[in-house]
Amino acid sequence: MMRNSIRLTAGIVSAALGLAALTPPAAAAASAEDREYVPFTASNGLSSEYHVYAAGVPRPAGLLVWTHGDGAYEFTHPRAPYVMGGPHGVKALANAQGYIVVSALSPDTDGTVTWWEDGEDNADYMADLIEHLTDEYDIDSSDIVMAGFSGGAQFTTQYFLPEHSGMIDGGSAIVFGGGGAPETSQQQPWDEGLKDTFFLHWATGELDTAENSDEGYDALEYAREGEAYYAAEGFETSHDWIPGEGHELDELFGDLLAAKLWEHIPRGGSGPVPEGTPAPPATDGGDWSFVVEPHAEFAYITVNVPAGIDEGYTRVRAEGENGYWYAERTGPGEHTVQMGDPGTPYWDPLLPGSEYAFRVYTVIEEDDGGERLVERAAGAFTTTTSAEEGVVAPVPVAPPTISGTPRIGSTLTSSPGEWDASTGAAGEVGYAYQWLRDGVPVDGAAAASYRVRPADRGATLSIEVTAMKTGAAGSASASARSAGIVVPVASVVLGAPDRLIGTRNTSFVVAVQVRAPGAAVTPTGEVRVTIAGEEHTGTLVDGRVTIDVGTQPRGVHTIRLSYAGDGTVGASAGWGGFLLVL
């Protein structure tokens, strides 16, 4: 029952615009809250944490569990658009379709955090976690979605499903960058009924192969192997081998996942409605009620958009003495938006203890490109003071730094930078690290130090440090990045004199060339020629230079060459032959 599907790209599905909801209003029940870094211990003794995003999701709800790639970048950066954050992130789009979203951190404590290592024990941990979540929330057990990337994808199809599919009544597995056939020794028989209610989808870049991987990981081969296995077992399967993409699918996860959810199990919610879905019953406009939860530097505003508002979209705009903020949402239902952006790269907070007015509009786009605003509700709130606030994310004062020589095989060391953790309730501050290559997370590089690899040659390395403050009142985190450093490509310096033999009256010239094999760069900078203890220098032009070394004393002299490097191309030394002076 294998079938192909067309290529999907970012922007296919858009559930919401503006900032993603992070926390529900204060009046909401505990089970309706968004919560982060929630501890959990399974019956086998393994312990870890998870984020749960449940605010505003109608009940009963579907459950979507995300398992991270190696290093857990998307878990430690839940607001980054890489996977979870932003209007096209997994959280916003799955919430909008009626799913409670859980991002689960592996209980792995040995080296790089992974799901697939010790997969059988981790599968037991995951089974207990899902059972716990099903008990705590009103979960529709016929709609449980297992989704994950890379090592998380491998874990899902190789360990968890073969061992624990019996606890699921229906739903799907949507995996990215891998997802091979079972490898567990604890595999259980498949429930024949589940094959009619559970589908699997693989999304992997067509260039995500061993040849393009530093570690030799062939995600495409694993994905093909996994789909072939599950299709042969009688499950409905599909795939997208994404043209032009390798292992990095940054900011594509949410749209790809949302499209598959709508195709198979449209739950409703506030997300985009595919063609043919019945519209909700019309009303006279209904109650545009709202609830405000102010904090010291931000506020959550939850607005109820009545059914029957079938034109335009909703905009919430807040304004105070230090500026204005707005966020936009589509569709009816309850929407939570955040005003103020502390703890983000934009660092645009509200002022503690200050008044802000807000208005709620329906925005209707006109044919001439303009907007027509229909005001629906208005209100005001006062932010709390820091003394009233709970745990507040540390504020970056000075960015992280990197020390060490950026050459292949050397070790770079980072410092976390300086952070101000004095705001809000007391707590301990810890740090998490993620190394980046040209701005993209490096798999498995989640420590303070990093050994430079061959794949880094010619790239810019930087590190992102997440500072997390944890106390009795909860936890909060913020991230900051270091400046980048370039790992030079290797160079070869070659040279030869214009003549090998001369007299003490001969003026010699040495021609030098510097190359960077395998790199599309032309070396620049200074070259030094040393003969008989004397140094002669010249500057490269198009990778070449001719250096006049003048007359030389009688004897046989070795010609030594050295290139200083130029930041992009590394330094090197060479031998330019010899001179015989009669």
pLDDT at position 31 over 60: no
Say which range, 163-167, 192-196, 256-260, 377-381, has the weakest mean pLDDT: 256-260
479 vs 50: CA distance, rounded Å: 19
pLDDT of residue 20: 30
pLDDT at position 3 over 80: no
Backbone angles phi, psi at 409, to 5 degrees: 90, -15
234 vs 183: CA distance, rounded Å: 19
Q: In what order do the strands lie in the sheet with 492-497?
A: 492-497, 508-515, 544-550
Q: From the CB of residue 119, how many other CB atoms can be counted at a distance below 10 Å?
A: 26
Residue linked to tokens 């032309």: 522
pLDDT of residue 337: 86
The one-character DSSP state at 210 is G
pLDDT of residue 82: 84
pLDDT at position 284 over 50: no
pLDDT per position as a tens digit, 121-149: 999 999 999 999 998 888 888 899 999 99
Number of helices followed by number of strands (H, E) in the chain: 7, 34
Beta bridge pairs of residue 475: 470
pLDDT of residue 507: 93
CA 42 from chain centre, in angstroms, equals: 27
CA 233 from chain centre, in angstroms, equals: 33
Confidence of residue 518 (pLDDT cuts 50, 70, 90): low
pLDDT of residue 11: 30
Give the residue, 402 or 373, on which the prediction is more confident: 402
pLDDT per position as a tens digit, 61-109: 899 999 999 999 899 888 888 899 888 889 988 988 889 999 999 999 8
Mean pLDDT within 304-322 = 87
Domains and CATH numbers, the chain: 36-264 (3.40.50.1820), 290-388 (2.60.40.10), 395-486 (2.60.40.2700), 492-581 (2.60.40.1930)
pLDDT of residue 274: 36
Q: What is the 3-state secondary structure (H, E, C) of 356-377?
A: EEEEEEEEEECCCCCEEEEEEE
Kindly tell me the sign of the dihedral angle through the C-alpha atoms of 499, 503, 508, 510: positive
| CB 151, CB 247: distance < 8 Å | no
Determine the 3-state secondary structure of 32 from DSSP.
helix
Mean pLDDT within 509-519 = 84
Determine the 3-state secondary structure of 72 from DSSP.
coil
pLDDT of residue 158: 96
pLDDT of residue 343: 52
Kindly tell me the sign of the dihedral angle through the C-alpha atoms of 26, 32, 35, 41: positive
Contacts of residue 309, defined as CB under 8 A and 6 or more positions apart, other chains included, come to 285, 332, 362
Beta bridge pairs of residue 147: 66, 174
Please report, as a single letter, which amino acid is at residue 384. T
pLDDT at position 44 over 80: yes
pLDDT of residue 471: 72
Confidence of residue 117 (pLDDT cuts 50, 70, 90): very high
452 vs 410: CA distance, rounded Å: 6
477 vs 534: CA distance, rounded Å: 58
pLDDT of residue 282: 28
Determine the 3-state secondary structure of 492 from DSSP.
strand
Contacts of residue 274, defined as CB under 8 A and 6 or more positions apart, other chains included, come to 262, 263, 266
pLDDT per position as a tens digit, 403-428: 998 887 789 999 999 988 877 667 78
292 vs 366: CA distance, rounded Å: 31
pLDDT per position as a tens digit, 234-270: 999 999 898 888 998 888 898 889 878 876 654 444 4
Mean pLDDT of the chain: 83
The one-character DSSP state at 391 is B
Say which range, 194-198, 368-372, 410-414, 470-474, has the weakest mean pLDDT: 470-474
pLDDT of residue 327: 85
Confirm whether pTM is higher than 0.95: no
Here the tokens at position 430 are 């810890």
Q: What is the 3-state secondary structure (H, E, C) of 437-489?
A: ECCEECCCCCCCEEECCHHHCCCEEEEEEEEEEEECCEEEEEEEECCCEECCE
pLDDT of residue 276: 34
pLDDT of residue 347: 57
Q: In what order do the strands lie in the sheet with 355-365?
A: 323-329, 313-320, 355-365, 371-382
pLDDT at position 174 over 70: yes
pLDDT of residue 473: 61
Confidence of residue 213 (pLDDT cuts 50, 70, 90): confident
pLDDT per position as a tens digit, 332-371: 888 888 888 765 444 578 888 899 999 999 988 888 777 8
H or E element in which residue 510 lies: strand 508-515
Beta bridge pairs of residue 573: 562
Confidence of residue 390 (pLDDT cuts 50, 70, 90): low
pLDDT of residue 33: 78
